[in-house]
Amino acid sequence: MGYADQLFDLTDRVVLITGGSRGLGREMAFAVAHCGADVVIASRNFENCEAVAKEIAAETGRSALPYGVHVGRWDQLDGLVEATYERFGKVDTLINNAGMSPLYDKLSNVTEKLFDAVVNLNLKGPFRLSALVGERMVAAGGGSIINVSSTGSLRPNGGIIPYAAAKAGLNAMTEGLAQAFGPTVRVNTLMAGPYLTDVSKAWDLSGNDNFSHLHLKRAGDPHEIVGAALFLASDASSFTTGSILRTDGGIP
Ligand SMILES: NC(=O)c1ccc[n+]([C@@H]2O[C@H](COP(=O)([O-])OP(=O)(O)OC[C@H]3O[C@@H](n4cnc5c(N)ncnc54)[C@H](OP(=O)(O)O)[C@@H]3O)[C@@H](O)[C@H]2O)c1
C-alpha cells in the first residue's frame, strides 16, 4: 500500500452518510468505499439509495446498505441507526450531509412550516443522529462525525436566511459535540461553497461572472468535495476536531 493509500485507508470501516444518493453525498459515498469502507446510503427516496448502493458495491466490492429516511423527522432516525448497527455492528464515520435551502420570494412569505422544515433537516436531524451514533462511538472507543455546512452560514444573504441560521447552528453544534464526545470521537464541520449539484439547477447562471467573487472564479465540481471528506473521515485528521474545513473556492 502506498503512503497516501495508507494515510486515507478506511478498510473495513463503516460510514453512514445521509443524503448519500445524490450530489455531494453520492461523491463522498463512492470515495469512502473506494478507500475500503462499507457504507450506509440514507435519503428519502429508497429506490435512489438502492441504485447507488448497487453501483457502489459493483464498482468497489464493498457492502452498501440503502435506507429510506426523512432526516428531519426524529422518530425515523432510531430506525436508521438500529438498521445500521444490526447490519454492520458499528459506525466509524457519520456524515451529516443531507440538507436543503428552499427558495422564497420575500421574507414575509416564509411560513413557519418552511422555516421548521429547514431547521429540522439542516440542524435538528444532525443533532439527533450525532447524539445516537456519537454515544455509541464513544462506547466503542472512537469515531469521526462530519457535519456538512455551508459558507452561507458565514456570509448569509437575504435569500437564504433560515438555511444560513440553521447551518450556523450546525457550526456551533460541531464545537459542542467535539467537546462532548472527546477525547476519542472527533467532530468537524465540512463547509461547502457553491457546487454544481442538483441544488445549482435553481440558480440563475445566465451571466458570465456568476462566481467572480470567489478567489477561484468558478463553482465546484461535486467531486471536488472528496479530498476534504476523506481527510476528515480518516486517521489523516487524527489531531483535528471541532474545526471548520472550508472547501468553497475561496470566499472573500
Ligand atoms: N451544492 C451546493 O452548492 C452546496 C453549498 C453549500 C452547502 N451545501 C450542503 O451540502 C449538502 C449536500 O448538498 P447537495 O448540493 O449535494 O444537495 P443535493 O444534490 O440536493 O442532494 C441532497 C441529498 O440529500 C437528500 N435529502 C434531501 N432532503 C432530505 C431529507 N429530508 N431526508 C433525508 N435525505 C434528504 C437527497 O435525497 P432525497 O431527495 O432522496 O431525500 C439527496 O441525496 C447539504 O447539506 C447542503 O446544504 C451544498
Mean pLDDT, residues 171-180: 98
Residue 252 is assigned to a structural domain of this protein? no
Domain extent at residue 174: 3-247
Q: What is the layout of strands, in order, in the sheet containing 64-68?
A: 64-68, 38-43, 14-18, 93-96, 143-150, 185-192, 244-247
Total domains in the chain come to 1
The atom number, within ligand 1, closest to the CA of 96 reads 45
Task: Tell me the per-residue pLDDT of 148-159, one tens digit each, with 9 for 90 and over.
Answer: 999 999 999 999
pLDDT of residue 92: 98
pLDDT at 95 over 80: yes
Determine which one of 85, 104, 163, 195 is catalytic. Answer: 163
Pocket test of ligand 1: the residue of 16, 22, 167, 210 to mutate, having most ligand atoms within 8 Å of its CB, is 22
* DSSP structural state of residue 220: B
Residues 6+ apart with CB under 8 A from 224: 195, 247
Residue 100: CB within 6 Å of ligand 1?
yes
The answer to the question of residue 194 being in a domain is yes
**Assigned domain for 162 exists:** yes
Strand-pairing partners, residue 188, are 146
Q: What is the pLDDT of residues 107-138, one digit of tens each?
A: 999 999 999 999 999 999 999 999 999 999 99
Could you tell me the CATH number of the domain that includes residue 117?
A: 3.40.50.720
Whether 203 has a pLDDT exceeding 90, the answer reads no
DSSP 8-state secondary structure symbol assigned to residue 146 = E
pLDDT tens across 20-46, in order?
Answer: 999 999 999 999 999 999 999 999 999
Q: Is the pTM of this model over 0.85?
A: yes
In a domain, 41, yes or no: yes
Residue 232 domain-assigned (yes or no): yes
The per-residue pLDDT for 20 is 98
- Specify if 71 maps to a domain: yes
Residue 54 covered by a domain: yes
Residues 6+ apart with CB under 8 A from 114: 102, 104, 162
pLDDT at 223 over 80: yes
Burial label for 42, CB within 10 Å (0-12, 13-18, 19+), is buried
155 falls within a domain: yes
